[in-house]
Amino acid sequence: MRKIKLQMQVSLDGFVCGPNGEMDWTTWNWDDELKNYVKALMEPADSFIIGRVLYEGMSMYWPAAETNPDTSEDDRKAAKAFNNMPKYVFSKTLQTADWNNAIIASGDLVETIHTLKNQEGKDILLYGGVSLVSSFIQNNLIDEYHLFINPTAIGNGRSIFGDLTANFGLELVKSQSFSCGIVVLHYAPAKQ
């Protein structure tokens, strides 16, 4: 069965964005070791899941980044991967998706994910946004959590765990710190 792997930036105080979606606090001066961590995370995956808002931002950047001479070599390589992978865009309002290999998923979340996980293929990355990831958490659909804890507290914002109505346990698989100040916490759902 395919795994759903969440990769998400998180502030030191547990927020994934500011109250209005601000991401200006994130650390992007990644060292080679952190870039290699992300490459290793992407390697066993052949598709990814995003929500509408993140889709709109990514679809404006990544298609052009692949051939833009002003884009870093790392971003051009990432762009090639993102542009070629199937992308499942969860949205109730998006009618069309023009980014190469984008598929709009507007049906029942749990049913759709169970169908995807049981299809032939490699793992599936989950990038966000907040509401979508919260729904995955509430329905226990994530197999691996890779939380990129940034060395910044923002004081106020949106949390992927903000809609929980009961305790939600995770088991630490691994933690790793990087010279840019990010600490990656790799968790699995707690065994019940």
Q: How far apart are CA 63 and CA 27, in angstroms?
A: 23
3-class SS at 98?
coil
User: How many structural domains does the chain have?
Assistant: 1
Taking alpha carbons only, the member of 120, 129, 151 closest to residue 29 is 151
Task: Read off the tokens for 129.
Answer: 């946004």
CATH code for position 144: 3.40.430.10
CA distance linking residue 160 with residue 134, whole number of Å: 5
Is residue 145 predicted with pLDDT exceeding 90? yes
Q: How confident is the model at residue 78 (pLDDT cuts 50, 70, 90)?
A: confident
Can you tell me which residue has the tokens 């509430």?
138
- Residue whose entry in the numeric block shows the structure tokens 């001479």: 69
Percent of the chain with pLDDT over 90: 80
pTM of the model: 0.93
Q: What percent of the chain has pLDDT over 70?
A: 99
**By residue range, what is the domain housing residue 45?**
4-189
Confidence (pLDDT) at 192: 66
pLDDT digit string, tens, across residues 91-133: 989 988 999 999 999 889 999 999 999 999 999 999 988 999 9
User: What is the residue whose two structure tokens read 């019940």?
Assistant: 192
Return d(Cα 157, Cα 16) in angstroms, integer: 7
pLDDT range class, residue 88, cuts 50, 70, 90: very high
| Start-to-end C-alpha separation, the chain | 20
